[in-house]
Amino acid sequence: MSHFFKVKTLDDVLSMTRNFDPADTERVDISDAFSRILAQNLTAPGDMPGFRRATMDGFAVNAAATFGASESTPAWLEIQGTVLMGQVPDFELGPGKAVRISTGGMLPKGTDAVVMVEHTQTIDDASVEIYKSVAPLQHVIDANEDFSSGDVVLEAGTFIRPQEAGLAAGLGFTTLPVHRVPKVGIISTGDEIIPIDQEPAPGRIRDINSYALSGFVQEAHAKVIRYGIVKDDPDQLRAACEKALAQTDMVLISGGSSVGTRDYTVEVLSALPDTRILVHGMSVSPGKPTILAKSGTKPVWGLPGQVVSAMVVMKMVVIPFLNRIQGYRQPKPVMRVPAILTRNVASAQGRRDFVRVMLENGPEGMTAKPVLGKSGLIRTMIHADGLLDIGENLEGLEKHTVTQVILL
Amino acid sequence: MSHFFKVKTLDDVLSMTRNFDPADTERVDISDAFSRILAQNLTAPGDMPGFRRATMDGFAVNAAATFGASESTPAWLEIQGTVLMGQVPDFELGPGKAVRISTGGMLPKGTDAVVMVEHTQTIDDASVEIYKSVAPLQHVIDANEDFSSGDVVLEAGTFIRPQEAGLAAGLGFTTLPVHRVPKVGIISTGDEIIPIDQEPAPGRIRDINSYALSGFVQEAHAKVIRYGIVKDDPDQLRAACEKALAQTDMVLISGGSSVGTRDYTVEVLSALPDTRILVHGMSVSPGKPTILAKSGTKPVWGLPGQVVSAMVVMKMVVIPFLNRIQGYRQPKPVMRVPAILTRNVASAQGRRDFVRVMLENGPEGMTAKPVLGKSGLIRTMIHADGLLDIGENLEGLEKHTVTQVILL
For B152, nearest residue in chain A (alpha carbons) = A379
| Nearest CB neighbour to A204, from listed B86, B219, B374 | B86
The C-alpha atoms of residue B231 and residue B189 are separated, in whole angstroms, by 6
- Counting other chains too, the contacts that A194-202 makes at CB distance below 8 Å and 24 or more residues apart are A194/A229, A195/A228, A195/A229, A196/B30, A196/B169, A196/B170, A196/B172, A196/B173, A196/B174, A197/B172, A197/B174, A198/B172, A199/B172, A200/B50, A201/B88, A202/B50, A202/B51, A202/B88, A202/B106
Q: Which residue is closest to B404 within chain A, CA to CA?
A: A337
Of B106, B200, B260, nearest to A203 by CB-CB distance is: B106
Which one of A49, A117, A203 has the shortest CB-CB distance to B87? A203
Query: B246 CB contacts (<8 Å, ≥6 apart)?
Result: none
- Does B7 contact chain A (CB < 8 Å)? no
Residue contact A205–B50, C-beta within 8 A: yes
pLDDT digits (tens, 9 = 90+) for B120-174: 999 998 999 999 999 999 999 999 999 999 999 999 999 999 999 999 999 999 9
Asked whether the predicted pLDDT for residue A219 surpasses 90, the reply is yes
State how far the Cα of A266 lies from the Cα of A257, in Å rounded to an integer. 13
Chain A nearest-CA residue for B336: A337
* Residues whose CB is less than 8 angstroms from the CB of residue B3 and which lie 6 or more positions away in sequence, other chains included: none
Say which range, A3-12, A72-81, B163-172, B225-234, has the weakest mean pLDDT. Answer: A3-12
Gap between the terminal Cα atoms of chain A? 36
Count H helices, E strands: chain A? 8, 28
DSSP structure class, residue A32: G
Read off the pLDDT band of B261 (50, 70, 90).
Answer: low
Q: What is the 3-state secondary structure (H, E, C) of A139-199?
A: CEECCCCCECCCCEEECCCCECCHHHHHHHHHCCCCEEEEECCCEEEEEEECCCEECCCCC
CATH class label, A2-23+181-326: alpha beta
Nearest-CA distance from B117 to chain A in Å? 10
Average model confidence (pLDDT) across chain A: 93
Per cent of chain A over pLDDT 90 is: 86
Distance from CA of B1 to the nearest CA of A (A): 20
Residues of chain A in contact with residue B196, where contact means CB-CB under 8 angstroms, are 30, 169-170, 172-174
Say whether domain A53-141 belongs to CATH 2.170.190.11. yes
Which CATH superfamily, name and number, covers B26-47+147-179?
Answer: Molybdopterin biosynthesis moea protein, domain 2 (3.90.105.10)
Half-sphere CA count of B333, side-chain side, radius 13 A: 11
Question: Where do the structural domains in chain B lie, given as residue ranges?
Answer: 2-23+181-326, 26-47+147-179, 53-141, 336-407
Chain A, residues 9-68, CB within 8 A of chain B, namely: 30-31, 34-35, 48-51, 53, 55, 57
pLDDT at A5: 64
The contacts of residue A6 (CB under 8 Å, 6+ apart) are A281
**Interface contact flag, B103 A338, Cβ < 8 Å:** no
Pick the residue of A59, A163, A191 with the most B CBs within 10 A to test the interface with B by mutation: A163
Q: Which residues of A touch B171 (CB under 8 A)?
A: 206
Class of domain A336-407: mainly beta
pLDDT band at A1 (very low <50, low <70, confident <90, very high): very low
* Cβ distance of A34 and B153 shorter than 8 Å: no
> If you average pLDDT over residues A385-403, what whole number do you get?
95
Contact B113, B138 (CB under 8 A): yes
The pLDDT of residue B211 is 96
A396 CB burial (10 A radius; 0-12, 13-18, 19+): middle
pLDDT band at residue A262, thresholds of 50, 70 and 90? low
The shortest C-alpha distance from A274 to chain B (Å) reads 31
Domain A25-48+146-179 has CATH 3.90.105.10: yes
Q: Residue B2: pLDDT band by 50, 70, 90 thresholds?
A: very low
CB-closest option in B85, B89, B199 to A191: B85
Query: A92-106, A253-267, A326-340, B206-220: which range is least confident on average?
Result: A253-267
- Residue B68 — very low, low, confident or very high, per pLDDT cuts 50/70/90? very high
Is pLDDT at A329 greater than 80 in this prediction? Answer: yes
* pLDDT of A2: 43
Q: Which H/E stretch holds residue A295?
A: strand A291-295
Of the candidates A167, A190, A191, the beta carbon closest to that of B382 is on A167
